[in-house]
Amino acid sequence: MRILIVEDDPISRMVMEKNLRRFGTCDVAENGVQALEAFQKAHTENQPYDLITLDIMMPELDGQSTLQEIRRMENQRGIYGLSGVKIIMTTALDDKESILEAFRSQCEGYLTKPIQREKLFQLIQAFGL
């Protein structure tokens, strides 16, 4: 499995990578701009990501905007619905508005920090990854 971890906090990024590397190859991005570049490159190389963990509060381009742009880029490539990359939003935001916005933008999962490893693994299993 190919995984992209998008997280601006170095400690959170390190913990997420430690938890996910057992499932496959992990790449990291520190903000939404880097995430979009990595996403585009992966598709150009015909090696798309299977899973993206995406922080919401980041500099340059936040996670909600990054999610929307990823889905737009997939649509341009003819990738729709369940055929797209699985995206788990990871954030300290647990308000109803943030959660609804993420799901409206077609994320598959939403975890609040601190991330509970068991919940992360359950989502990955539920996605069939």
62/96 Cα distance (integer angstroms) = 18
Residue 82 burial (CB count, 10 A): 9
Q: Check if the beta carbon of residue 42 is closer than 8 Å to that of residue 2.
A: yes
User: 18 pLDDT exceeds 90?
Assistant: yes
Q: What is the pLDDT of residue 90?
A: 94
Residue 45 burial (CB count, 10 A): 8
What's the rounded mean pLDDT across residues 14-33? Answer: 96
Tell me: the pLDDT tens digits for 69-123? 999 999 999 998 889 999 999 988 888 888 899 999 999 999 999 999 999 999 9
Q: What is the pLDDT of residue 11?
A: 94
Q: Packing angle between helix 96-104 and helix 63-76, nearest 10 degrees? A: 10
Q: What is the pLDDT of residue 95?
A: 85
Measured CA angle at 20 (ends 2, 59), to 5 deg: 85
Domains and CATH numbers, the chain: 2-126 (3.40.50.2300)
Tell me: the pLDDT tens digits for 29-73? 999 999 999 999 999 999 999 999 999 999 899 999 999 999 999
